[in-house]
Structure formats: structure tokens, C-alpha cells
Amino acid sequence: MKRYLTLLLVILLTAAFCSAAFANAPAQSAQNAPSTQTAQDFSSKIAGMNKISNIRIGHTGDNIRIVVDGSQKIAYRSFSLSNPDRFAVDIQNAWLAQSAPRQIPIQGSKFVQQVRISQFDAKTVRIVVDATVFSDQVNIFALPDPHRLVMDFGNVNKPPANIQKELERVQQTIEAEKKSAEQAKKEPAKQSSNPFEIDFEIIDDLPHGTIIYPPDTKEKDKPKKHAKPGLRGKTIVVDAGHGGSDCGAVGQNGLLEKDVTLKVALRLEKYLTEAGVKVLMTRKKDADVAYAYATTNEELQARVDVGNKNNADLFLSIHIDSFVNPEANGTSVYIYDDTYLGKCLHDELIDRLGRKDRGVKFANFYVLRNTAMPASLVELMFISNEEEEAILREEDTIERAARALYEGLRTYFL
């Protein structure tokens, strides 16, 4: 009897355990299964956002093309990062698909070493390119149908043949002037016995902005005379690069590009105003021109609009250069189609700042190609170079840079 009671007790306990297990089974299954609610929440969060589905890399020699595929029109903001130097692009109102690669090493290019892409925050996809490039070796633009962002690194700013020819001529002139000036220091000036006779051998110190043209130069290639010579009455846009949410390049000791460009721009405004110029400043304080954290194109277009909507006579953008190699230094002047303007600014900047001469160059910069008037962008020095960063902090440098730009513009409008 005792054995039957024990067996009965075991049966009852087993039945109770199994009943409890079956009762809990649906709850446990629901916990382990994917949450329908979670999927719905995710779909709700990305509704209307740009899906970044892929990133592709193309090589043409050393040049690198990075193509980012999106599901709709791409709004982006590009900027540089330091320590170490990188180039970054934030795609706004976007989410990164799981299938997209997160890191792509680049082999065989002297310009780009690596590309990384990530979901920076809830609505921003960030692309970071470890690149060794100057400002004129980057070109970024968006394309529709299909929607994609194209980033070119390398020798991407090749000028049209006619501009290339003019630039070569300007460079030859610069070299001729340097050689002539050096020769003048070595040899004493010859005195002519006839006061009315011009000895061309002693005319070797030309005014800044003067271009020496070879004998076969056609008249149409020479600088055109302005309808009303002189600065007075002209409308000039002075664009202090970066500002507000965009600090620009940052020096090794913390100097910000946006602060230096504004100081120079304000000083230049003073000189131009005193000369009777109507000066249009894209910014007069530490602020964005479009709005905070605008896309790159929106911010640059806002600057261009200041000139185009006011029928300005000239657009001048002031910047400070930066490079991954801290030894890089010197002064550069960029143009899109007016080599004479570049030459006028170049001569004064090299003379008054006394830094390495990096020449007059063509660049397909947004503010140069989209302005309806002559335009130039100047890179005064390298903020990434510790010596030049220290020089840029000095009040005397601000004064010399502004005065050089003023004199260059004055020469241009003669």
C-alpha cells in the first residue's frame, strides 16, 4: 500500500510540473521571438530618412573616387578634422543600412589611406576619409537619379586648356620677375649718358601686378581696362572663410581658422571703405552665413548670393590652409577664370607676408565657379604649421595681410 501511495504522489507531482511548464511556454516563446513592436519602432524612426545602402571606391592612378549610394537627394556638410588630419562628410537625415561596409582600406594611393562610415547620431551618417590632400585636391558633389554623393581626392581640379595656358604664362612672369629682382641685387644699375635714352636693361623692378607679356601675346589676352578705373564706387564682397558652427582648420596650439579670417576681413573692410568701396561682408562676427549646421552647399551658396544678388564687381574669399604634414607652409592664391586678379593678389601677399610662394592656381571651388563676377580665394599661410600658426596670432600679420589684399585689389582696378 505504501508503495502505491508513493507512486501516486510521483504521478501527481509530475503532472503538476508539466502543467506549469505548458502554462509558461507561450510567455517564454514570446520573450525569445523577435519583437514585432521593436521592428515597428525602427520603421517609424527611419520613415522619410535617406537610406545609405553602399559605399564604393574607384581608382584612377593615384586619384580616388568615393561614391556613397542613397535612397533620396543627399544633403551633406563637409569639414576637416585634426590630430590626425582627416576629411569628414556628414550626410543629414540619413540612416546606415546594415549591409553597407563600415571600413575600407585603400591601397596604392598617395592621397587616401582609409575610408570609414558610421551612424554618428540618430539622424547623421558620417564618412571619415584619412587623406593626405591640400584644399584644392578635394571635390565633393551630389548627383541625382540615382542619388549618390561623389567624393574625389587627388589631382581633381584640372583647369580648362585656356586657363592652364594663362596660368603657365603667369608663372613664367613670376619667375621672370624673381630672376630680374635677384639680378638687380647683384649688378649696379647702369647710368645712361643720354637722359632721354631709355636703357631697357635697367628696367627690371616692375610695380606689383604688372604682367610681362611675350612679344607674340595677342591684345585680347591682356587684362581688360575697367570702364571706371579705381576702387571708388566699386562693390566688393569680402568673405571671411568658415565661421559659427564651422571652425575651419585648427592649429596645433588651438588657433582657429575662422577667427583669423574674420580679423583680416574686418581690417580689409576698413581700408576698402576708406577708399570709397561699397563693401559687402558675408559675415562680420563669428556666425554661419546660411544657418548653423547648414549643408555645405547651402552655406557656400549663401556666400555666393551676397555677390550675385548685389551685382558685385568682385568676390574675395579669405582662408588659412592646412595639411597633414606640419612642415607644409606658404601662401597660395586660387582663381577660376581671372588669372590677372590672381596675379595682383599674389604679388602683394608674397611681398608683404614674406612666406613661401606657392603660386597662382586654378581651383574648382564652389565660391569661385558660382559667382557671376571675378573671384579669388586666398590661403594666407598654413595653420597646421606651428611656426606659421604663431605668426598668424600676431596683430602685425593681420595688418600686413589686409594691406596686401587691399593693394592687390587696388592694382587690379587700375
Q: Are residues 129 and 252 in the same domain?
A: no
* Domain enclosing residue 291, as ranges: 224-412
Position 250 in a domain: yes
Q: Which of 131, 153, 175 is the last residue in one of the domains?
A: 153
**Per-residue pLDDT tens for 192-235?**
444 333 333 333 333 333 333 333 333 334 455 566 889 999 99
Mind listing the pLDDT tens digit for each residue in 143-191?
A: 888 899 999 998 877 777 888 888 888 888 888 888 887 777 776 554 4
Cα separation, 210 vs 187, whole angstroms: 22
Q: Are residues 283 and 403 in the same domain?
A: yes
Whichever domain contains 385, its CATH number is: 3.40.630.40
Q: Which triple of cell numbers denotes residue 187?
A: 649688378
Position 17 in a domain: no
Catalytic residue positions, numbered: 379
How far apart CA 136 and CA 156 sit, in angstroms, is 8
What is the pLDDT, as a whole number, of residue 225? 58
Read off the pLDDT of each residue in 304-308 and give the average, rounded to a whole number.
Answer: 97
| One domain for residues 117 and 239 | no
What integer pLDDT is reported at residue 326 of this predicted model?
A: 87
Residue 357 bridge partners (DSSP)? 331
On whether residue 215 sits in a domain, the answer given is: no
Position 197 scores a pLDDT of 35
pLDDT for the residue numbered 157: 72
251 in the same domain as 364:
yes
- Asked if 241 and 324 sit in the same domain, the reply is yes
Of 153, 172, 205, which residue constitutes the final position of a domain? 153
**406 and 320 share a domain?**
yes
Is 99 contained in some domain?
yes
Question: Tens digits of per-residue pLDDT, 82-113?
Answer: 777 788 999 999 999 999 999 999 888 888 99
Task: Put residue 286 in one of left, alpha, beta given phi > 0 → left and psi -120 to 50 → alpha.
Answer: beta
Q: What's the pLDDT band for 36 if we cut at 50, 70, 90? A: low
**pLDDT above 60 for 298:** yes
Domain count for the chain: 2
Q: CA 116, CA 183: separation in Å to the nearest integer?
A: 53
The pTM assigned to this predicted structure is: 0.71
Higher pLDDT, 35 or 201: 35
Q: Report whether pLDDT(382) > 70.
A: yes
| Per-residue pLDDT, 227 | 67
Give φ, ψ of 143 to 5 degrees: -125, 145
Considering the domain boundaries, does residue 171 fall inside one?
no
Q: Within a domain: residue 28?
A: no
What pLDDT, on the 0 to 100 scale, is given for residue 39?
Answer: 65
Residue 359, C-alpha cell as written in the block:
603660386
The predicted-structure confidence for 256-269, as pLDDT tens digits, reads as follows 999 999 999 999 99
Which DSSP string corresponds to 208-249? TT--PPPTT--GGGSPPPPSS-SSTT-EEEEEE-SBTTB---
Higher pLDDT, 245 or 208: 245
38-74 pLDDT, tens digit per residue, is 767 777 788 889 999 999 998 877 789 999 999 999 9
- Number of Cα atoms under 13 Å in the Cβ half of residue 130: 12
- 9 — pLDDT class (breaks 50, 70, 90): low
User: Are 370 and 243 in the same domain?
Assistant: yes
Q: Where among 134, 153, 172 does a domain terminate?
A: 153
In total, the chain counts a number of residues equal to: 414
Q: Are residues 125 and 250 in the same domain?
A: no
Both 407 and 287 in one domain: the answer is yes
> Is position 331 within any domain?
yes
Q: Mean pLDDT across the chain, nearest whole number?
A: 82
Exposed/middle/buried for residue 29 (C-beta within 10 Å: 0-12, 13-18, 19+):
exposed
Q: Which residues of 100-112 are buried (b: 16+ CB within 10 A; e: fewer)?
A: beeeeebeebebb
> Pairing mode, if any, of strands 124-131 and 76-81?
unpaired
- Does 163 reside within a domain? no
User: Are 364 and 264 members of one domain?
Assistant: yes
Report pLDDT for 193: 43
CATH of residue 95's domain is: 2.60.40.3500
My answer on whether 340 and 258 are in the same domain is: yes
Residue 131: per-residue pLDDT: 86
Q: How far apart are CA 405 and CA 319, in angstroms?
A: 12
Taking the mean position of all CA atoms in its chain, how far away is CA 373?
Answer: 20
* Co-location of 379 and 255 in the same domain: yes
Check pLDDT > 70 for residue 80: yes
Residues 6+ apart with CB under 8 A from 133: 87, 111, 112, 153, 154
Which pLDDT belongs to residue 174?
Answer: 86
